[in-house]
């Protein structure tokens, strides 16, 4: 009986060490809005900062050395001793602790105050809370736009003894990013090292640090990257692309805080959750770090991010719409209207020439059909918007392929800056 028990224990221990060894090798990479707002999941380069803007200084990477086994590695099929198993488990704990000790001084708690006016109650304040992180030694703090939206006053707390006022430097609502600035000496600022979205893989480790529910500063939660390339559409109509999904616990108040990989590098900015209860349900989302690299330096320089714009309105073509309008293609964009003096208007792209009633809806038909941009197929509005956002900047000249009267044509379009509301 004792032999059988010993054999069972050895089998369990051997399985445990195999699991721990795999986890030890995969120690790289991992929101409901703070003012809680629901979101829904829908279908879905090297960094060169603008002139005058310095890139954040990366902190040294600290990775605890793996433990020295108490005995030589066991041949395949033989058990490892208990002390080696404990050493491996301790190494995992030390790694996470080392990441937290290095990065947590970079994470801040953000408190906002918004003044509302009501006919019955008069003027009254309302406070909000979120998280953020230090971007550089100049005092720039990155957070979500929705954390500081409409705020009259903003305070940033670094620890129990250090709370300072902050001013808004720049905002980009479409990407839900904002940059604040605090006035502190450089030696009190500890920027987060930036990672890369290109290296992320599903199953990699993810660590989130923030202030859940606006109370528990610098709380650490761990998990994995559950999915990549998600697209989020918020209640306000904003679409955020290439979002990271993680099961690391994220709650209201975590918005704006960092999502880290297994080396303590930033891989995302926690922004949203999907949850029936309003608390973490294991489905959280983060804006990818490559978007941070692209947008934040421009926010610091200009105060806003100029989104490229072609200047049209139209319909995403579906097989059903193509049948009803007798269109020659089943995907693309049917141009309905062209903004006057827009890039599309200057390039000669045409809008609708007639109205067609389909069911109880009037459709503007007869316009050009956009099918490709720089050789990349345009399937629908989302694919065009994604290409412009991720691959172009204002002033770029793109080649647009379109159909007119059944004939394929191409035209050069110089992108302008999207009008800001």
So which residues are the catalytic ones? 146, 176, 255
Bridge partners (DSSP) of residue 403 are: 369, 408
User: What angle, rounded to 10 degrees, do the helices at 2-25 and 82-103 form?
Assistant: 30
The phi, psi pair for 282, rounded to 5°, reads 80, 10
CA–CA separation, 176 and 238 (whole Å): 8
CA–CA separation, 225 and 122 (whole Å): 46
> In angstroms, how far is the first alpha carbon of the chain from the final one?
77
Q: Which helix (H) or strand (E) holds 92?
A: helix 82-103
DSSP, res 316: E
CA–CA separation, 139 and 24 (whole Å): 35
Integer Rg of the chain from CA: 26
* Helix (H/G/I), strand (E/B), else coil: 391: helix
- CB neighbours of 151 closer than 8 A, spacing ≥ 6? 112, 113, 114, 128, 168
Helix ranges (H only) for 135-204 are 145-148
Q: Residue 255: how many CB atoms within 10 A of its CB?
A: 34
Tokens of 92: 């995992």
304, 172 in Cβ contact below 8 A?
A: yes
- CB neighbours of 31 closer than 8 A, spacing ≥ 6? 39, 144, 250, 254, 255, 270, 271, 272, 273, 284, 285, 286
* Helix (H/G/I), strand (E/B), else coil: 407: strand
CA–CA separation, 100 and 254 (whole Å): 16
243, 286 in Cβ contact below 8 A?
A: yes
């Amino acid at each position: 009986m004792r032999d059988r028990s010993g054999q069972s224990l050895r089998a369990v221990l051997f399985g445990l060490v195999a699991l721990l060894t795999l986890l030890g090798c995969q120690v790289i990479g991992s929101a409901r809005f703070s003012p809680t707002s629901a979101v829904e999941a829908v279908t879905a380069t090297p960094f060169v900062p603008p002139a005058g803007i310095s890139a954040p200084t990366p902190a040294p990477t600290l990775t605890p050395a793996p433990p020295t086994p108490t005995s030589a590695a066991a041949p395949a099929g033989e058990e490892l001793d208990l002390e080696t198993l404990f050493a491996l488990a301790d190494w995992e704990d030390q790694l996470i602790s080392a990441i937290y000790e290095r990065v947590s001084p970079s994470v801040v708690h953000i408190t906002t105050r918004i003044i509302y006016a009501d006919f019955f109650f008069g003027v009254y304040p309302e406070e909000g809370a979120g998280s953020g992180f230090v971007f550089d030694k100049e005092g720039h703090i990155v957070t979500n736009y929705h954390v500081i939206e409409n705020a009259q006053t903003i305070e940033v707390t670094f620890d129990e003894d250090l709370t300072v006022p902050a001013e808004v430097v720049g905002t980009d609502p479409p990407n839900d990013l904002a940059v604040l600035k605090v006035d502190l000496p450089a030696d009190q600022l500890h920027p987060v090292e930036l990672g890369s979205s290109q290296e992320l893989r599903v199953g990699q480790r993810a660590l989130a640090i923030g202030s859940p529910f606006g109370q528990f500063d610098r709380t650490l939660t761990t998990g994995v990257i559950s999915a990549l390339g998600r697209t989020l559409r918020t209640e306000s109509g904003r679409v955020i692309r290439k979002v990271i999904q993680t099961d690391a616990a994220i709650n209201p108040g975590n918005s704006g805080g960092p999502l880290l990989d297994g080396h303590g590098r930033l891989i995302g900015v926690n922004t949203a959750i999907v949850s029936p209860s309003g608390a973490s349900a294991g489905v959280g989302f983060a804006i990818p770090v490559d978007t941070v690299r692209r947008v934040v330096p421009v926010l610091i320089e200009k105060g806003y991010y100029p989104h490229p714009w072609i200047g049209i309105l139209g319909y995403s073509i579906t097989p059903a719409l193509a049948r009803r309008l007798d269109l020659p293609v089943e995907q693309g964009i049917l141009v309905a209207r062209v903004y006057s003096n827009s890039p599309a208007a200057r390039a000669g792209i045409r809008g609708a020439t007639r109205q067609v009633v389909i069911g109880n809806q009037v459709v503007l038909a007869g316009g050009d059909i956009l099918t490709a941009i720089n050789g990349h197929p345009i399937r629908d509005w989302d694919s065009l918007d994604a290409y412009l956002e991720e691959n172009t900047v204002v002033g770029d000249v793109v080649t647009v392929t379109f159909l007119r009267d059944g004939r394929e044509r191409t035209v050069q379009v110089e992108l302008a800056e999207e009008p800001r509301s």
